A = this chain, B = another copy of it.
Amino acid sequence: MARPRDTAVDAKVLEAARALLRERGYAGFALDEAAARAEVARTTVYRRWPSKDHLVVAAFATMFETAPIRETGDVRADLTGTLTAIAAGLRLPATRALVAELIAAGTRHPELGDALRPLWTQRRTAAAELIDRAVARGELAADADPALIIDQLVGPLYYRVLISGDPIDDCFARALVDTTLARHR
């Protein structure tokens, strides 16, 4: 009963939030301005997303895209390609900062952590299937644990970007794949 929500408002706000996020990053993102750009009252935004963090995560989820992996049939090449693709994105300072803020948001609000997880692990599950097929082809040992392998491939990437600050060049990505695969053949 009663008046339904204007779904156009959700779309307008998310669109404005995406633009603002791209232009100024998380730090420069002001909820007031997102509302103003969407030509909507601030209170109306709060009626849909209970906090800035929630809105930012929702906006990020709609602009997060992963290029599909082109599978060549050679695990080494496929994994290297996946890693360099991830690395290329993380190298951008803006992306790096946004990722850090999103992770922090995910620890502040557990439900946001839950919402973000599928986004992060999307490429990860694709890579897991890559490994499964390589095992089926006999390219990798049958006892290879895809989850562990991927943690050892992707983990160091995020670790370097977020924590140690070491560079993540393509040479590093190749070295990761090489040493990891050597164990399972």
> Measuring CB to CB, which residues of chain A are less than 8 angstroms from any residue of chain B?
27, 96-97, 100-101, 103-104, 106-108, 113, 117, 120-121, 124, 145, 147-148, 151-152, 154-160, 162-166, 175-176, 179-180, 182-183
A-B contact pairs, 12 of them (CB 8 A): A27-B108, A100-B104, A103-B162, A148-B156, A148-B176, A148-B179, A151-B160, A155-B158, A158-B158, A158-B159, A162-B162, A179-B183
> B152 near A120 (CB under 8 angstroms)?
no
Report Cα–Cα, A114/B144, bound state, in Å: 38
Contact B164 A121 (CB under 8 A): yes
B107 and A145 contacting across the interface, CB-CB below 8 Å: no
User: Are the C-beta atoms of A179 and B164 separated by less than 8 Å?
Assistant: no
A96 x B104 contact (CB < 8 A)? no
